[in-house]
Amino acid sequence: MKEKKRSVKPFFTQYRGRFAPSPSGELHFGSLLAAMASYADARSQNGLWLLRIDDIDQQRVIPHSDQHIVQSLEQIGFQWDGEISYQSQCISNYEEALEKLIQMGLVYPCHCSRKQIKVLSHDGVYSGTCRHRIIKKNFFHHSLDKNSALRLKVNSDKLFFSDEIQQNCQQNLAREVGDFVIFRRDQVFSYQLSVVVDDYISQISHIIRGFDLLDSTARQIYLQQQLGYPTPKYAHIPLAVNEKQIKLSKLSQAKKIKSNLSTLISAAQFLGQSIMTDKDYDKIEDFWQHLFLIWDINKISKMEKKEIMV
Ligand SMILES: [Zn+2]
């Protein structure tokens, strides 16, 4: 791929936020929080808000759940800008990014089995067993080595970033993560790579999402740096947990949200916003207009998780 030198223009000329659910279940309270925080933050700053379906991992996709999520969002008054995008339709973008990383000599095939990785890794950090391996040219065209994953070489620099809620964060990728997988053994692009490429293509300037993804942020920033992408602003909201401290997610069988005003009010309260009661709003649009007006990201708790009664 040839790259022409272009005159540098500021990348983020506008606030562009996004919500990117994976279509592996209904919209539950935990994902509603990420949707609401990203939506309200965008609208309170006159920004755009995009909707993307993260369906790169087709194994995890539950048929029609994308439509159910979209319907749920519509019923409670979310309005996104532009068309909904689907990761499964963007594969060539990921291939291009991977190709670039390969050209830079940062990628190698890993033949280790899950068992080997477990034995050799300390605290889940990949030991770099396959670092000496050379990737064959035209990886995709030969579509060889069905049994290998591709890993990205990391360095031992400490990576610092500022999170709008969690504030100063740092991670040493070499010590805490190790060379990580960007293309999986089952021939699927990794979450880390696909998200970074999508956010770049959509020029996302602000990413607001659940605390569980804080740990992925340094990897994503590292990828942005290698690919020459700008780094958006990040904010990680606390995870909603039940009384047993289990995260409300598809795995813990979190229920589909009720599409009504009181659900929205519970979510806004969870996010620390000074919202009124459901009797104070005539309709859902009034709630949203009020939330955009009073939205204050600084009121969101810095905790990793927070209990919710639903
Ligand atoms: Zn390996």
- In this prediction, residue 212 carries a pLDDT of 94
Measured in Å, residue 110 CA sits from the centre of ligand 1 at 4
Residues 15-44 have a mean pLDDT of 96
Mean pLDDT of the chain: 91
Examine the pLDDT at 30 and tell me if it is beyond 50: yes
User: Are 128 and 179 contacting, i.e. CB atoms less than 8 angstroms apart?
Assistant: yes
- In this prediction, residue 1 carries a pLDDT of 44
Measured in Å, residue 160 CA sits from the centre of ligand 1 at 27
Residues 246-263 have a mean pLDDT of 78
Measured in Å, residue 150 CA sits from the centre of ligand 1 at 9
Measured in Å, residue 125 CA sits from the centre of ligand 1 at 12
- In this prediction, residue 107 carries a pLDDT of 96
Structure tokens at 37: 């925080």
**Binning pLDDT at 50, 70 and 90, where does residue 115 land?**
confident
CA distance 199 to 52: 10
Percent pLDDT > 70 in the chain is: 91
Please report, in angstroms and rounded to a whole number, the separation of the first and last CA atoms in the chain.
51
Distances, alpha carbon 58 to alpha carbons 53, 74, 87, 187, 188, in Å: 12, 24, 10, 11, 9
Examine the pLDDT at 205 and tell me if it is beyond 50: yes
More confident residue, 303 or 197: 197
Those residues whose beta carbon sits under 5 angstroms from the ion ligand 1 are 110, 112, 129-130
Measured in Å, residue 286 CA sits from the centre of ligand 1 at 55
Distances, alpha carbon 124 to alpha carbons 120, 137, 174, in Å: 9, 30, 12
Distance of CA 301 to the CA centre of its chain: 20
User: Are 254 and 244 contacting, i.e. CB atoms less than 8 angstroms apart?
Assistant: no
Examine the pLDDT at 12 and tell me if it is beyond 60: yes
Distance of CA 207 to the CA centre of its chain: 8
Measured in Å, residue 129 CA sits from the centre of ligand 1 at 5
Please report, as a single letter, which amino acid is at residue 272: G
Kindly state the greatest CA–CA separation across the chain: 65
Q: Which CATH class is domain 16-307?
A: alpha beta
**Binning pLDDT at 50, 70 and 90, where does residue 204 land?**
very high
Task: Name the nearest CA neighbour of 94 among 196, 4, 221, 179.
Answer: 196
User: Are 186 and 10 contacting, i.e. CB atoms less than 8 angstroms apart?
Assistant: no
- In this prediction, residue 117 carries a pLDDT of 83
**Binning pLDDT at 50, 70 and 90, where does residue 255 land?**
confident
Measured in Å, residue 90 CA sits from the centre of ligand 1 at 28
**Binning pLDDT at 50, 70 and 90, where does residue 49 land?**
very high
